[in-house]
């Protein structure tokens, strides 16, 4: 089971949003680079990063921060947030990230997703963010009348190497992930799925591990770490248990 500690970057700071609301955010003292170092020191190998500035602007605003993290700590990083063209994908791959997450741009343009997967083989992750089963895009500001499952059926053969499924209503709430819906997504997906949104305790991690044989590759943990609900010493044990 891969565990992805999360870093969300806004204005060069680590932040967490509640249900994706930019007006409802918590800022944390540690810089993104220092936070990544803390994860590395504890033994984590994977890292989930969202460039919230990128999500709002469509530009690789925090590319230099990502580059410094890759160079300094040799972590396997998946990065998302406003990646809308091949140039942005290439910039991230060139600095050494493992996966680039395509969200809104892939949902708006399925052909872009397909071409990106062909052009950057095994480097593209598909990020699907949903509210009550319907997809949301543009930093969760725009809710679509498109069922997650229906969209996934249309693009399952496009070549994404990973799927990150986030239930927006759970994200940042620490109410536990939507395991039930994530499993439905995993059944349809042709690539392994990462659980995202709402992790509240180590019990959520243990439950995720029980789903490893159901096309579940890992889980993202964010606010519960920052708020001290899950200790890193406790969490890292689940990597090897």
Domains of the chain: 2-240 (3.20.20.70)
User: Can you give the pLDDT at residue 18?
Assistant: 72
d(CA 157, CA 225): 35
For residue 15, CA distances in Å to 41, 64, 100, 123, 222 come to 21, 18, 20, 26, 10
User: Can you give the pLDDT at residue 147?
Assistant: 92
Could you tell me if 156 and 182 are in contact, meaning their C-beta atoms sit under 8 angstroms apart? no
d(CA 201, CA 174): 8
- Catalytic residue numbers read 8, 129
Phi, psi of 208 (to 5 degrees): -60, -40
Q: How confident is the model at residue 137 (pLDDT cuts 50, 70, 90)?
A: confident
Mean pLDDT, to the nearest integer, of 181-185? Answer: 96
User: Can you give the pLDDT at residue 174?
Assistant: 81
Could you tell me if 194 and 217 are in contact, meaning their C-beta atoms sit under 8 angstroms apart? yes
User: Can you give the pLDDT at residue 81?
Assistant: 92
User: Can you give the pLDDT at residue 124?
Assistant: 98
Q: Does the reported pTM lie above 0.85? A: yes
Mean pLDDT, to the nearest integer, of 166-182? Answer: 88
């Amino acid at each position: 089971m891969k565990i992805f500690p999360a870093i969300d970057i806004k204005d060069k700071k680590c932040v967490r949003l509640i249900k994706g609301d930019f007006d409802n955010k918590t800022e944390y003292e540690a810089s993104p680079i220092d936070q990544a170092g803390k994860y590395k020191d504890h033994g984590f190998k994977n890292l989930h990063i969202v460039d919230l500035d990128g999500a709002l602007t469509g530009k690789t605003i925090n590319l230099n921060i990502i580059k410094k993290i890759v160079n300094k700590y040799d972590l396997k990083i998946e990065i998302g947030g406003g990646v809308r063209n091949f140039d942005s994908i290439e910039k991230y791959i060139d600095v050494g990230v493992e996966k680039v997450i395509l969200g809104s741009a892939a949902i708006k343009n399925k052909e872009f997703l397909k071409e990106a997967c062909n052009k950057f083989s095994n480097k593209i992750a598909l990020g699907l963010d949903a509210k009550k089963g319907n997809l949301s895009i543009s930093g969760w500001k725009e809710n679509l009348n498109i069922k997650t499952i229906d969209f996934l059926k249309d693009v399952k053969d496009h070549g994404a190497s990973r799927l990150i499924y986030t239930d927006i209503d759970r994200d940042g709430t620490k109410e536990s992930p939507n395991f039930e819906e994530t499993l439905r997504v995993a059944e349809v997906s042709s690539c392994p799925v990462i659980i995202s949104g709402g992790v509240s305790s180590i019990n959520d991690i243990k439950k995720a591990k029980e789903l490893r044989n159901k096309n579940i590759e890992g889980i993202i943990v964010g606010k519960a770490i920052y708020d001290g609900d899950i200790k890193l010493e406790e969490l890292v044990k689940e990597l090897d248990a």
